[in-house]
Amino acid sequence: MIVTLIVVCEAGFWVLLAAGLGLRYLAGMPRTGAAVLLLEPLLELVLLIATAVDLRNGATADWKHGLAAVYIGYSAGLGHATLKWVDQRFAHRFAGGPPPVKPPRYGAARALHEWKVAGQWVLAATVALALLQAAVWYVGDSGDTSSLRAWQGKMLLVIGINLVIALSYTLWPKRPEH
């Protein structure tokens, strides 16, 4: 059930995104489009509640519950950036908007960009870590939480990788070729 709900939430995200942007740019209804886009967090709330209910009803905590926490974390940390990325491209393609802004390619500006991206990933992983820990506490000593703990390790790896990438752009900034 949880995997199906994750797939439904992901499909729902793209449906709401397409509907919101369509209303905003194609139908000329920017406020209605924004309202539709603001419905997206409800999908994560439904997933969170369903996961908690599933665990409360005696389901064994496994990879599916961890994946739900990671999905919610991703939405919290990177959902806005994803929306902005798609919005710029949609506006440019269908509504005569300016070309999408490209990230800086060199120097300190690129390093700053990489730190911002790392911050988004750290936020996503931290939200997932918190939800995973809440699930561990929720299950308690009576159940096997090794799968949830494994997901926590993966989220710590995500944090580490993103910090190393940002740090590398700081210590060894990319320079334009002459």
What would the pLDDT profile of 131-175 be if each residue is shown by its tens digit? 999 999 999 888 889 999 999 999 999 999 999 999 999 999 989
What would the pLDDT profile of 12-32 be if each residue is shown by its tens digit? 999 999 999 999 999 999 999
Burial 105-131 (b: 16+ CB within 10 A, else e): eeeeebbeebbebbebbbbbbbbbbbb
The structure's pTM equals 0.92
DSSP summary character for residue 99 = P
Question: From CA 129, how far away is CA 136, in angstroms rounded?
Answer: 10
DSSP summary character for residue 142 = G
